[in-house]
Chains A and B, each alone.
Chain A
Amino acid sequence: MAMPNGPQGERENYLNKEYGVGSWLLTTDHKRIALLYLMSITFFFFIGGFFALLIRLELLTPAGDLVQADTYNKLFTMHGMVMVFFFLIPSIPAVLGNFLVPMMIGAKDLAFPRINLLSWYLYIIGGVMMLHCMLTGGVDTGWTFYTPYSTAFTNTKIVEAGLAIFVAGFSSILTGLNFVVTIHRMRAPGMTWSRLPLFIWAHYATSIIQLLGTPVVAITIVLVAAERTLHLGIFDPKLGGDPLLFQHLFWFYSHPAVYIMILPSMGIVSEIIACFSRKRIFGYNFVALSSIAIAVFGFLVWAHHLFVAGISIYAAFVFSLLSYAVAVPSAVKTFNWTATLYKGSIRYDAPMLYAFGFIGLFMMGGLTGLFLSALGIDVHVTDTYFVVAHFHYIMVGGAVMGYLGGMHFWWPKISGRLYPEGWARLAALIVFIGFHLTFFPQFVLGYLGMPRRYYDYSHMPEFQVLNVLSTAGATILGVGYLLPMIYFLWSMRYGKPAPDNPWNAAGLEWKSASPPPTFNFDVEPVVTWEAYNYEELDAPHPQEAPVVR
């Protein structure tokens, strides 16, 4: 369909169609906006990573000798806020989702291209506010900004950080809105719901959470800001309010937010597993619906963050049970990926290594989640490093593994260049090892009783060995994260030109050129095949698939 890129007479595509800063800052092309997001979230990822590095350095020795207590509080707060709201939540949806959702369903663009650009600007405005907040003092409440500490006691910049998150939240809402409408209304002829790639199902489920969850945290932030600035008594018991209400409202969003991070990763893993074992995904319908089920269950489990906060024991029973229920759709996915591998022709390219890494880390993160759903064990490990390790296995191990796997898988499509495969496999291995070394010791630390958010543990020096291991792992992990950035940048200039479909993958996005033209397809595609038709693609005498008519 498309000629390979030559030194001269390059095919027109979304990258070379126009040049100049204005053509990027005012673009409404979903692919360009995806790249704007890619640059922005990478920036925030390294800021958040820098804070993490300082945290780990402080914990290298039991004494609090690198930073002061207040600084340490600000470090873990800003690490959490930046990573959650400015990296993890926008990461896969706003970058890969933005790029791929229209391409995978055969659309020319998202339904509302200008709103898509607006969402990026809102993200940037929120990000600049957050940077300003950090540079002029920061926040020390933890990313959860629990009341009444946040509204009545701390003298750090709660309102500004809250507003930054409020604005970034609307960016997230607009992305979700765009995806839902696009998936409903913009599918190419023949692209039925049962033919949608699982990446799309995952993004559909994610978008629903973004749409229905984010407004609740937005109004919670408004109330916190009102209580702090105008002394309206909503959450502060001294003013007649109830801090428990804050926790309910906050976690009503912030628990499902974890699924905003993990669901798109699961979508990516489904794509990669199918492609690199050359098989249709096992149990397509179940994997698709399990995404929706996770989104629905995700809204019903928030109070498991409140088990020690004084909720009624009967409510705790119910929320414990519902939290266990999340394991069912999660296990459906894991088992179906494994079943897809069975008797597949497996290739171990870098995206597949990341997908394997995802399954391993997600399983450990998910199973320790069951520990935490159990009322008794939760009381024992609440606010210890066990919890820290658990959610990092999901949010960093799971979500970032999927994100990196997806970046490798679709990099040839995005950039039109091949990345160096050897380096990529090495990086996948380094990330996997570095991750376990960082966070596995934290499970042990937490179970033995090391509380989170302590900068000084000199009264329990026996924890130093495990902390040193964790810090060493974080260093390795840092190298593993830097490597892909370096060779992706390198490949943009020196990488081999990518063919349109380097993996011989199914999916509409691979039927377009690499990089794709501005409106994605030269002729509107008509879909006549099922998703993941790898058996057909690999048949001895492959019929030329009726790509376009």
Chain B
Amino acid sequence: MSDSQTTAVQAAAHGHDPALLHHFAEPQQQRDAASLGMWWFLATEVMFFGGLFCAYLIYRLQHFNDFAAASQSLSIKLGAINTAVLIGSSLTVVLAVNAAQRAKRNLLVAYLLLTLVLGSTFLGIKAVEYTDKFKEHHVPGPTFHFVPERMEGHPEQPPIDQRHAEMFFSLYFVMTGLHALHMIVGIGIFVWLLVMAWKGRFTPSYNTPVEIGGLYWHFVDVVWIYLFPLLYLISRHR
């Protein structure tokens, strides 16, 4: 009898969960491995975004006035709405994980759907923001042109270096673009989770995918929680 057959027979004899993969001894081990794997993956993501944050912070300090002026042109209103939308989606993710643990299939499906709606809303608003930037010629490239808004109480503003303003928008697009890419991946994951939940695959003893998918979603949220103040808020002092 081959090893795989032996394992299958043993599993059947002990009434093991069919979701238990052959190389794990017990479901708890499998769950712990998946969860630890996702945490380490998120650590690599921190370093991935970390390189960008590092570049942004260094240039922001080097070219303070230019970056401050350029960040004035971002819409705080849209950014704030998007922040609320994303935090709301994190809440629905937590509720979804909870529903999966309590075997409430319909509730789980509803929360996953709601998460998808909120995630798509975020991307929609982001698209509006990008369109505005495009119309204002704030997209780096040959047509780039930036005229700073006049700040109240600062009648004599120092001249703006166009290259550094352009650099601000370069970093803005790379950082938010990479974040949006992560959102799109997250939406892909959640569509898959939705299908699985619809089929009733998740049980109180097997819901790891919801949990680690949720971890990923929260991480993407946290990145935005840092992006929003760094790009939109902190240069707005008067």
Contacts and interface: CB of A to CB of B under 8 A. Distances in A.
A binds B: yes
Interface of A: 12, 17, 107-113, 173, 177-178, 180-182, 184-186, 211-216, 218-220, 222-223, 226, 230-234, 239-242, 245, 249, 252, 517-519, 522, 524
Contacts of A249: 51, 54-55
B3 A214 contact: no
Given A234-B55, A519-B3, A519-B7, A215 B47 contact: yes
Contacts of A517: 3
Contacts of B163: 233, 239-240
B64 interface: no
Interface string B8-40: 000000000000001101000100110011001
A223 B167 contact: no
Q: What is the interface of chain B mostly: helix, strand, loop, or mixed?
A: helix
A249 B2 CA distance: 50
A68 B113 CA distance: 62
A180 B173 CA distance: 34
A367 B132 CA distance: 58
B30 to A, nearest CB: 9
B170 A177 contact: no
5 contacts: A108-B23, A181-B37, A211-B44, A220-B51, A519-B3
A180 B23 contact: no
B36 A216 contact: no
B174 interface: yes
A86 to B, nearest CB: 20
A510 B229 CA distance: 56
A220 B55 CA distance: 10
B92 to A, nearest CB: 28
Nearest to B165: A240
B116 to A, nearest CB: 25
Contacts of B54: 249
Q: What is the interface of chain A mostly: helix, strand, loop, or mixed?
A: helix
B33 A12 contact: no
B54 to A, nearest CB: 7
B31 to A, nearest CB: 10
Given A239-B167, A245-B58, A519-B7, A219 B23 contact: no
B147 interface: no
A245 B4 contact: no
Given A108-B23, A112-B37, A219 B48 contact: yes
B43 A211 contact: yes
A215 B54 CA distance: 13
Nearest to A115: B37
A107 B167 CA distance: 50
A212 B210 CA distance: 25
B192 interface: no
Contact of B29 (A110, A185, A220): A185
A54 to B, nearest CB: 35
Contacts of B136: none
Interface string B173-214: 110001000000000000000000000000000000000000
Contact of A219 (B4, B43, B51): B51
A173 B43 CA distance: 11
A107 B30 CA distance: 13
B37 A216 contact: no
Nearest to B31: A185
Contacts of B22: 108-109, 519
B151 to A, nearest CB: 22
Contacts of B45: 215
B23 A113 contact: yes
9 shortest interchain CB distances as A-B pairs: A240-B163, A232-B170, A215-B48, A219-B51, A108-B23, A109-B23, A215-B47, A185-B33, A111-B33
